[in-house]
Amino acid sequence: MSPVIYTKNAVSDSVISTLIEIYNSSKDYQTKSMKKVSGQTDEVLEVLKGVSTIDTNRIQICHFYKHSTPYYPHTDYHFLEKENIVMPLQVFNGANPYLIVFDQWLDDDGKTWTFESNTTFSHNTGISGRPCDHNIKKSTNKEITKALYRYLSHYPKDYWFGLSGDPYEFKPGNTIQFDSKRLHATSRMHCEAKLGLTIRYKR
């Protein structure tokens, strides 16, 4: 499993401003927990060419997303999608949240663990229960550490059993790159909302 790459100051203020303008001028669509806008456009891809760490020729999926509540633990791997790049764009009225990227992964198409509820998603398969109740790889078989749980205390500690990992600040200008099979989730949020751009590289 490849390591997480957290690149600081990878995206200029002008690129961020342009991408926010594109999002604000586009018609979004509401999913179960977030507002999304397609980034799979010539305009967005042209802007991304100005980011030296992004290979626009490898982009399989690209979309904006905005949400105000922490998103569930999930994976994003699908047959043609190999790597994720998360590009924070804007945090509204509060402290920057974190993206928790776990050490565990799933050798299967994308899943979203909703803990107690059954939820249908357009792209991933929503499943109830905890990640540790399914066939994740490298489970610790221990409760989550106190240090990591402080970022994930919006759910009971037992929900995160078997998981370990690291928090990465959702700070505009930085990027977070990781294998699409890795579990990841939003930290507890102390802001009104956050806006980002997700890029998935093809195999």
Please state the separation of Cα 126 from the chain's center in Å: 16
Domain range list for the chain: 5-202
Say what the pLDDT of residue 118 is: 60
Q: Could you tell me which residue, 78 or 44, shows the higher pLDDT?
A: 44
Q: What is the pLDDT of residues 83-124, one digit of tens each?
A: 999 999 999 999 999 999 999 999 987 788 887 766 554 555
Say what the pLDDT of residue 112 is: 87
Look at domain 5-202 and name its CATH class: mainly beta
Q: What span, in angstroms and rounded, lies between the C-alpha atoms of 42 and 39?
A: 9
Q: Could you tell me which residue, 134 or 92, shows the higher pLDDT?
A: 92
> Which residue in the block uniquely carries the two structure tokens 């018609």?
27
Q: What is the pLDDT of residues 65-83, one digit of tens each?
A: 999 999 889 998 777 778 9
Proportion of the chain above pLDDT 90, given as a percent: 73
Q: What span, in angstroms and rounded, lies between the C-alpha atoms of 30 and 21?
A: 19
Say what the pLDDT of residue 29 is: 65
